[in-house]
Amino acid sequence: MAGNGYPYRDATRPLPERVADLLGRMTVEEKAGQLFHAIITMEPNGSLVEDPAEAPTEASTTELLHNRLMTHFNLLTGSTPRAMAEWHNALQRRAAETRLGIPVTVSTDPRHSFSDNPGAALRSGPFSQWPEALGLAAIGQAELVRQYADTVRREYLAVGLRVALHPQIDLVTEPRWSRAGMTFGEDADLTSRLVGPYLEGLRGGGTIGPDSVAGMVKHFPGGGPQLDGEDPHFAYGKEQVYPGGCFDYHLQPFAAAIAAGATQMMPYYGKPIGTKYEEVGFGFNRGIITDLLREELGFTGIVCTDWGLITDQKIMGEPHVARAWGVEELSVPEVVHKVLDAGADQFGGEACPEVVADLIRSGAVPESRLDVSVARLLAEKFRLGLFDDRRYVDPDQAEATVGGEDFRAAGARAQSRATTVLKNDPLASGRPALPISGRPRTYLHGMDASVAAEYLEVAASPAGADLAILRLSTPYDPRPGKFESFFHAGRLDFPPEQLSGILSLLDAVPTVVAIHLERPAVIPEIAQHAAALVAVYGASDRALLDALAGRIPPAGRLPFQLPHSMAEVEQGRPDVPQESRDPLYPFGYGLSYPTA
């Protein structure tokens, strides 16, 4: 490990001087290691994973740190806050044993809501639980988004997570797209208004510093316009199309993010079809990364590709080809060369730095090109204080901070407020179905009866019930693969047999339907037959009941249109926002409860 006498370890020196000093001491192999941002896991007890058979990279943690000389990792798993903090410290101690002692930067996908997709987001677990980003957009208040992101910052910092692989500011102009739930919806103005407060909350105020979490904004230049709504994690979804000519519309939130001080950016997997740009994946696309993002939009920060562009990998035990869309015929070194030529700085989800080192030593790529990216990556570590006081975390503080009572209360309140009332008809009594008053005999479907019993009298069946509450989720077409099954895509309407059962209940007893909108569901029949219809975007039973009972009045407004039919969806243009002239419910729609 380097001694404290080296200039790069002196916190009083200017950042450019520290970067230059460290960069000048690094071998080609040490530089190459910085360009890889691999997935890593931890043992539940907080120890390092040293059995290659248990590691997603099929390499031990020590191998990644000491032999491949990597210092950027995406933590896929979790545990208790104490165990996570202890794992982080063990990781940093192992990294400190290397020749230069470069500290590790640990990143994570979102961990604060209800999603459970190993390729996109993790369920909250010990962290405070908030609505999905769609729910924050439904409330639409910049200050709430800032509060949410500041909470994320505090909880991440406590366990050593320093890069958030979010916010996701794609626009959901193709309703079938499986990644809709973690966006702010389909409107460029709303998304642009919220991304700045999000990044400010992650930073903890002004510029990025030792008390900040860096946000990696994704997915440039906007991943929403997917052909048929399919996702480019998979070969059948690799085409991004713009039949409505709205390419620039999808850029607006990214321009806002850059203006708000974004320091990291992730291009998506897809390849543009029918535009002026080369028809290769955005991570390989010089016209997108260098010409558009860097030169036209002025972004000077880190560009990290999405995960798994270079090598074929096993995910959940199943083989998946590299997402080298448009360049499938190239060899691994050629693909790496193309990413570097495009202007990216890091390879997400990969662990083959020897390929970069070989390209440098062969003369195929000049070392000066490597230095440009490594300097950006090192500068971010210095800004985050990782070389100084922020290298280690306090397990006691982690235990006290993560999932704190105030954080959980704020998250639950946001879940209730995000609830969006779409229909609220009067009951036989003449009163609107919502807010629920008194303790009506209520039949429940999809809800915990023990929680509901605190708000109403639970009925065992619809017969004799005064009311019913039915919780639903957006329909989708199940996909066969283990990993693929987490991406809910395809149909947005309920199959006839399922719809028939739903409508039978709605016709038997006045029913409040609460549907979780992870995508814009097609529910005209349900809307017609329900006594009340509300949309939620991640809400516990208690948070939903607080909204339905009016204890926390719902304030949500739809962050996208709800279409009338699947035919309307299929005929739509994937890049065009708010295209329906007669939606079931328009963008921005939402009712308020009557006041006394």
| Prior bond of 233 cis (ω within 30°) | no
Contact 18, 7 (CB under 8 A): yes
Question: Over the stretch 332-389, which tens digit does the pLDDT of each residue have?
Answer: 999 999 999 999 999 999 999 999 999 999 999 999 999 999 999 999 999 999 999 8
Q: What is the pLDDT of residue 122?
A: 79
Question: Over the stretch 52-73, which tens digit does the pLDDT of each residue have?
Answer: 999 999 999 999 999 999 999 9
CATH classification for the domain delimited by 420-571, as one of 3.40.50.1700, 3.40.50.740, 3.40.50.300, 3.50.40.10: 3.40.50.1700
Q: Cα separation of 300 and 139, whole Å?
A: 32
What angle (nearest 5°) sits at the alpha carbon of residue 572, between those of residues 571 and 577?
170
> H or E segment at 534?
strand 532-536
* % the chain with pLDDT above 90: 94
Is residue 179 pLDDT above 70, yes or no? Answer: yes
Read off the pLDDT band of 46 (50, 70, 90). Answer: very high
Is residue 2 pLDDT above 50, yes or no? Answer: no
Q: What is the pLDDT of residue 6?
A: 86
Question: Over the stretch 242-290, which tens digit does the pLDDT of each residue have?
Answer: 999 999 999 999 999 999 999 999 999 999 999 999 999 999 999 999 9
Q: What is the pLDDT of residue 595?
A: 63
3-state class of 63 per DSSP? Answer: helix
Read off the pLDDT band of 594 (50, 70, 90). Answer: confident
Is residue 133 pLDDT above 50, yes or no? Answer: yes
Write out the catalytic residue numbers: 306
**pTM across the whole model:** 0.96
Closest CA to 123 of 115, 131, 133: 115
> H or E segment at 424?
strand 420-424
Q: What is the pLDDT of residue 3?
A: 45
Contact 122, 79 (CB under 8 A): no
Can you tell me the mean pLDDT for 9-16? 94
Q: What is the pLDDT of residue 581?
A: 87
Residue positions counted in the chain: 596
Is residue 108 pLDDT above 80, yes or no? Answer: yes
Q: What is the pLDDT of residue 124?
A: 85
Domain extent listing, the chain: 420-571
Mean pLDDT, the chain, rounded, equals 96
Can you tell me the mean pLDDT for 499-522? 97
In sequence order, what E strands does 229-333 have? 239-241, 264-267, 271-273, 302-303, 313-315, 318-320
